[in-house]
C-alpha cells in the first residue's frame, strides 16, 4: 500500500511538473538566432569590429544618457492580441526602469554582484519615416499564426529602418516562446526584437510568469550584443564557456523559474541577471560589465540609431517616471 502511495505521489509530481512547464513559455529564442548567424560573414565581421573598437570602449564607459526612439508594431489576429496603448506604455516604463536601475526589486540581487544604471533610455518615436507625426505605435491585422517563430512578422509589417528606430514587433510569437532579439550585424529586415503579446508590458494581456516587462529587457540585452550569462550554447552550458563579460561568473546551470542561490562553477552563480532564464519577478540586474559591453556595441555598431532625429513622443509620458517621480498635474475639471 505504501508503495502504491509512493508511486501515485511520483506520478502526481511529474504530472504537476509537466503542467507547470507547459504554462511557462521558453524564455527566449536567441539560440536559433545565433545558429542562423554562425556562418554569417557580416555578423562575424561586425563582432570583430565591436571588439576592436577601443575608442568607443572609452566612450562606452562615459555616463552620457543615450535615448533611442522606438516604434512598436502590433500585429494581431483578434482584438485580444491588438493590445492597448496603455499596455505599450507600461512596457516602455518597465524597460526604462530596468535600464536606469530604477526598478524597486534590486534588493533581490546578491550584494557581491554589481547593479548597473546602463543610462540608455527608450521612448516611443513621434516621427513617421515620411516625417509626419506618429504615436510611435502601428497596428496591422493578419490571419497568419505564429508569425514570430515562423519569421513572418517583418514581412507582414516591414521595419521602419534600423538606422532611425528600434523596431519592436508584438505578435502571436508561436511555439510557446516569449520572444527573441537580434544582435548588431544581423539582417536589417528583422533587426530589433519580437515579443509575444502575453509577455509584453505589465498590464492587459501580460501573463505570469513573464508579466513585468522583462522579456523586453532581456531581448534588448541581445539587441545590444549581450549573450546569455552562461555563454552562447543553451544545450551544453559548461564552466569553460562564457558570455565575454568579466563580472558575470561562469555557470554551467541554466536556472528557470526562480532561484535564490547556485554555485555551479566554483563561485556563486548570478541567478538574478536579466540575461538569465528565470521568471520576471526573479531577475533584477545588469552588471557594470554588461553595461560597458552594451554601450560599446551601441556606440560602435548602432551609431546611426544613437544619432536618430526621430524624437520622443510626448504622449509616451511614462518615461517621465525616469526622473524617478511622476509629476501629477492638477486637473481643472
Ligand atoms: Zn535570450
Ligand atoms: Ca562572464
Q: Is the pLDDT of residue 206 over 90?
A: yes
What is the number of the ligand closest to the CA of 237? 2
Tens of pLDDT, residues 129-145: 999 999 999 999 999 99
Q: Is the pLDDT of residue 2 over 50?
A: yes
- What pLDDT was estimated at residue 296? 93
Return d(Cα 144, Cα 226) in angstroms, integer: 31
Three-state SS for 18? helix
Q: Is the pLDDT of residue 327 over 50?
A: no
- What pLDDT was estimated at residue 23? 65
The Å distance, Cα 53 to ligand 1 centre, comes to 25
The Å distance, Cα 202 to ligand 2 centre, comes to 30
What is the number of the ligand closest to the CA of 231? 2
Give the environment of ion ligand 2: residues with CB less than 5 A: 242-243, 245, 248
What is the number of the ligand closest to the CA of 276? 1
The catalytic site residues sit at 219
Three-state SS annotation for 67-112:
EEEEEEEEEECCCCCCCCHHHHHHHHHHHHHHHCCCCCCHHHCCCC
Three-state SS for 295? helix
What is the number of the ligand closest to the CA of 229? 2
- What pLDDT was estimated at residue 15? 47
Tens of pLDDT, residues 152-172: 999 999 999 999 999 999 999
R_g of the chain computed on alpha carbons: 20
Kindly indicate the confidence band of residue 3, based on its pLDDT and cuts at 50, 70 and 90.
low
The Å distance, Cα 98 to ligand 1 centre, comes to 16
2-11, 229-238, 319-328: which is most confident: 229-238
Which has more confidence, 233 or 69?
A: 69
From the number of C-beta atoms within 10 Å of its C-beta (0-12, 13-18, 19+), residue 283 rates as buried
Q: Are 125 and 71 in contact (CB under 8 A)?
A: yes
The Å distance, Cα 28 to ligand 1 centre, comes to 4
Give start and end residues of each alpha helix (H) in the chain: 2-23, 30-37, 41-52, 54-61, 85-99, 153-156, 214-223, 288-301, 303-306
Return d(Cα 224, Cα 99) in angstroms, integer: 12
Kindly indicate the confidence band of residue 78, based on its pLDDT and cuts at 50, 70 and 90.
very high
Q: What is the mean predicted confidence (pLDDT) over 174-186?
A: 96
Q: What is the mean predicted confidence (pLDDT) over 59-88?
A: 94
The Å distance, Cα 244 to ligand 2 centre, comes to 6
The Å distance, Cα 9 to ligand 1 centre, comes to 35
6-20, 54-68, 196-210: which is most confident: 196-210
- What pLDDT was estimated at residue 55? 72
From the number of C-beta atoms within 10 Å of its C-beta (0-12, 13-18, 19+), residue 23 rates as exposed
Q: Could you tell me what percent of the chain has a pLDDT over 70?
A: 87
The Å distance, Cα 29 to ligand 1 centre, comes to 6
Amino acid at each position: 500500500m505504501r508503495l502504491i502511495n509512493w508511486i501515485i505521489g511520483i506520478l502526481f509530481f511529474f504530472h504537476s511538473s509537466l503542467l507547470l512547464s507547459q504554462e511557462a513559455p521558453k524564455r527566449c529564442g536567441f539560440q536559433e538566432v545565433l545558429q542562423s548567424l554562425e556562418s554569417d560573414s557580416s555578423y562575424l565581421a561586425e563582432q570583430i569590429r565591436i571588439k576592436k573598437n577601443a575608442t568607443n570602449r572609452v566612450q562606452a564607459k562615459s555616463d552620457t544618457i543615450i535615448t533611442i526612439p522606438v516604434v512598436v508594431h502590433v500585429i494581431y489576429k483578434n482584438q485580444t492580441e491588438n493590445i492597448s496603448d496603455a499596455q505599450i506604455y507600461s512596457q516602455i516604463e518597465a524597460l526604462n526602469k530596468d535600464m536606469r536601475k530604477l526598478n524597486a526589486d534590486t534588493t533581490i540581487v546578491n550584494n557581491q554582484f554589481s547593479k548597473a544604471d546602463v543610462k540608455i533610455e527608450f521612448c516611443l518615436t513621434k516621427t513617421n519615416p515620411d516625417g509626419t507625426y506618429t504615436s510611435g505605435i502601428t497596428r496591422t491585422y493578419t490571419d497568419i499564426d505564429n508569425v514570430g517563430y515562423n519569421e513572418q512578422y517583418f514581412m507582414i509589417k516591414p521595419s521602419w529602418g534600423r538606422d532611425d528606430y528600434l523596431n519592436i514587433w508584438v505578435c502571436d510569437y508561436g511555439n510557446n516562446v516569449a520572444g527573441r532579439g537580434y544582435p548588431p550585424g544581423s539582417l536589417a529586415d528583422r533587426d530589433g526584437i519580437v515579443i509575444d503579446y502575453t509577455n509584453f508590458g505589465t498590464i492587459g494581456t501580460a501573463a505570469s510568469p513573464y508579466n513585468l516587462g522583462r522579456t523586453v529587457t532581456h531581448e534588448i540585452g541581445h539587441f545590444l550584443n549581450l549573450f546569455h550569462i552562461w555563454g552562447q550554447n543553451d544545450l551544453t552550458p559548461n564552466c569553460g564557456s562564457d558570455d565575454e563579460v568579466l563580472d558575470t561568473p561562469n555557470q554551467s546551470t541554466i536556472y528557470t523559474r526562480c532561484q535564490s542561490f547556485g554555485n555551479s562553477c566554483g563561485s556563486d552563480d548570478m541567478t538574478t541577471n536579466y540575461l538569465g532564464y528565470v521568471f520576471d519577478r526573479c531577475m533584477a540586474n545588469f552588471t557594470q560589465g554588461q553595461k560597458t559591453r552594451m554601450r560599446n556595441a551601441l556606440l560602435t555598431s548602432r551609431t546611426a540609431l544613437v544619432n536618430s532625429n526621430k524624437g520622443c513622443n510626448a504622449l509616451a509620458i511614462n518615461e517621465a517616471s525616469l526622473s524617478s517621480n511622476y509629476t501629477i498635474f492638477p486637473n481643472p475639471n
